Amino acid sequence: MGDTRLQRERMVQRQIAARGVRDHYTLEAMRQVPREEFVAKPLREFAYEDSPLPIEAGQTISQPYIVALMIAEARIRPGERVLEIGAGSGYAAAVMATIAQRVYAIERVPELAALARERFERLGYDNIELRTGDGTRGWPEAAPFDAIVAAAGGPEIPDVLLRQLAPGGRLVMPVGTMRDQQRLVLVTRTGNERFVQKALGDVRFVPLIGEHGWRDDAPVTMAEPTRTHLRSRDVGRSMAGLIREAAEPLPAFDDPAFGKRFDRFADARVVLLGEASHGTSEFYRARDAITRRLVQAHGFKIIAVEADWPDAASIDRHVRSVPGVRDGEPAFQRFPTWMWRNTDVDRFVRWLRQHNHLLADSRRAGFYGLDLYSMNASMRAVIDYLDGVDPEAAHVARTRYGCLTPWSKEPAQYGHMAVTAGYAVCEDAVADMLRMLLLRRMEYTKNDGGRFFDAEQNARVVRDAEAYYRAIYYGSAESWNLRDTHMFQTLQHLLDAGGADSRAVVWAHNSHIGDARHTGMGQQRDELNIGQLCREQFGDQAALIGFGTDSGTVAAASNWDEPMQVMQVNPSMAGSYERLFHEAAVPRCLVDVRAGQHPELRERLSETQLERFIGVIYRPHTERWSHYTEAELPGQFDAYVWFDKTSAVTPLTKEHGSGVPETWPFAL
């Protein structure tokens, strides 16, 4: 999980303090308690996400913000005695025990009580007393309490609990006439029979079962924060009907009409085409058809993809028939190989080479990589280039890059070493190498401007990769932002090199091309992405097109660097955009969600929903926590392309490579 102390600090700053919780004791306690110890091992990597998580016995551990809000509103202080009702995993009790003198916790589910007790003993929380029983009765023999916190919602506050409050004591509890939807309230005892109540907002908790709560005659639902606005499905015309009205059905991929549907975006400087997963054939084939149209009919000459620069450069040399020595290694050998070495990309590359064949060099479209994972290959490319144009500079490059050589095969280890050492060991060396190349640009470009541009970009990759592998040990937001900034800047360099009239098509995941400011990425995790940066730079000249699916199959792995599998995609979750589009019952369509297009639908879709993101890893058993985040689709994209049922990409094999020319970049 990396450094959990840093994750806890980010949780406190971004999820709790940023939402208005200011109580010093609560914030410090949340910084100290290891939340990952209170969830099941398969979910520990999500322990510091901004959401509740499932725990044993069909229950949940509450969202960190809700835990902090309840404890802060209860104003728990050192030396106090606290009663908790609904201990669950034990996490909230541990947070309160970090502040208070003693915590009395009640849990009605024996399995949860046993697990919580084991955690308290193992982690050293010796000021918590836990019993299994009916929490609605309180703990009379331990009363009075300075604070009572109930993590379950009742139809009203039991009088028995109010009587167990000390004078000045505070009780925080969800209350509501519905079993699974409540208001969080704070009650303060101001006198023997005097109480003051304050509403804190709408929430959704499991029902409080017991003698003074709800009867145990219905299944307990999972608790999660409730959005305070009214759902679209509750008012007006149905969302499914609005989507059907706006949906423009899409023909077969090889029908010219497919690409023509997207002519409305042909005046943009940059058209960004997403994907909801890295392993879905329909997304690749749709991008293929759209890109062919933009290249053939509208003069786009840059295809920039979420791939490493050296790998994509081998494709580029092939499709533009650029002479040169055959690469030592085939392209796209690094995990996940199927992301680009598949039959759909193969089909597009073959077409692009054929399209370019009869065109002048200046009119040919190129294929370029935006990513920065190729530190070793990029160092090799810079040195090989300098060996040909300036052997003395090549010697300098070998010396400077020698700093990174011990970690070239496992660059993440360099990041760990740099963090452990406390300084950026190789930062100056790789930056100096790029500066040297730029200072000698005029001299080098006299020989071959194209080759110099390739070397220059590889030097940028090395510089930014060095910073990226250091950043991954400081947190996901920092490393993510560095990576997407690098990809955006690479796109800018390509556009600048192509001239004022150059235009680009970008192929990348929805998480990169949808404006991050309108998703949980930006709103909760302070992450930016290419889509956001393109909108900030190009305004309406950036067209952001997202893709989605309900079910089918996907090519993915269960963990990083494990074999690819063809997996079944779970049907979309209730409360997600994918479920809304599935319910519209349009098998494949384009929906334009720009301002001025379908205003009622745009307004209704702007209500926050869940959205699914599947990368090269797919974990269907923890899908809600692994693959969904909140989003506002019309702010995120300009258009949305929907395929209700999709299929996995087909990786290239030796059989696919039979009869290909020696120059074929995949070298099957």
Residue 667 confidence class, pLDDT cut points 50, 70, 90: low
pLDDT, position 660: 52
pLDDT tens digits along 75-115: 999 999 999 999 999 999 999 999 999 999 999 999 999 99
The last residue of one of the domains, among 175, 201, 228, is 228
Across the range 176-200, mean pLDDT stands at 85
- Examine residue 584 and state whether it is found in any structural domain, yes or no: yes
Q: Which of 180-194, 199-213, 382-396, 473-487 has the highest mean pLDDT?
A: 382-396
pLDDT, position 230: 31
- Examine residue 668 and state whether it is found in any structural domain, yes or no: no
Cis, peptide link before residue 336, omega less than 30° from 0: yes
For residues 362 and 467, membership in a common domain is answered with no
For residues 433 and 301, membership in a common domain is answered with no
The last residue of one of the domains, among 167, 199, 228, is 228
Residue type, 147: A
Q: At what angle do helices 411-421 and 449-471 cross, to 10 degrees?
A: 50
pLDDT, position 476: 66
For residues 147 and 268, membership in a common domain is answered with no
Cα dist from 410 to 45, 370, 373, 417, 475, whole Å: 22, 20, 11, 12, 19
Across the range 404-422, mean pLDDT stands at 69
Q: Write down the mean pLDDT value for the chain.
A: 89
Domain count, the chain: 3
pLDDT, position 223: 38
Determine contact, residues 248/591, Cβ cutoff 8 Å: yes
Structure tokens at 521: 């990425």
- Examine residue 173 and state whether it is found in any structural domain, yes or no: yes
Q: Domain containing 193 — which CATH number?
A: 3.40.50.150
Rounded Cα distance, 373 and 631, in Å: 28
pLDDT, position 185: 92
For residues 274 and 365, membership in a common domain is answered with yes
Indicate whether 225 pLDDT > 60: no
pLDDT, position 328: 56
For residues 457 and 356, membership in a common domain is answered with no
- Examine residue 595 and state whether it is found in any structural domain, yes or no: yes
Across the range 406-412, mean pLDDT stands at 72
Structure tokens at 170: 């505070």
pLDDT, position 228: 32
For residues 422 and 463, membership in a common domain is answered with yes
**Which residue reads 């006198």 in tokens?**
191
For residues 461 and 579, membership in a common domain is answered with no
For residues 154 and 44, membership in a common domain is answered with yes
For residues 74 and 215, membership in a common domain is answered with yes
What φ, ψ does residue 612 adopt, rounded to 5°?
-95, 135
For residues 182 and 58, membership in a common domain is answered with yes
Q: Domain containing 282 — which CATH number?
A: 3.40.1660.10
- Examine residue 523 and state whether it is found in any structural domain, yes or no: yes
For residues 540 and 644, membership in a common domain is answered with yes
- Examine residue 667 and state whether it is found in any structural domain, yes or no: no
pTM score, two decimals? 0.76
- Examine residue 37 and state whether it is found in any structural domain, yes or no: yes
Catalytic residue among 62, 314, 572, 626: 62
pLDDT tens digits along 511-543: 999 999 999 899 878 899 999 999 999 999 999
Range of 178's domain?
4-228
- Examine residue 153 and state whether it is found in any structural domain, yes or no: yes
pLDDT, position 57: 84
For residues 224 and 320, membership in a common domain is answered with no
Residue 217 confidence class, pLDDT cut points 50, 70, 90: low
* Residue 62 a catalytic site member: yes
The last residue of one of the domains, among 228, 247, 273, is 228
463 by DSSP, 3-state: which? helix
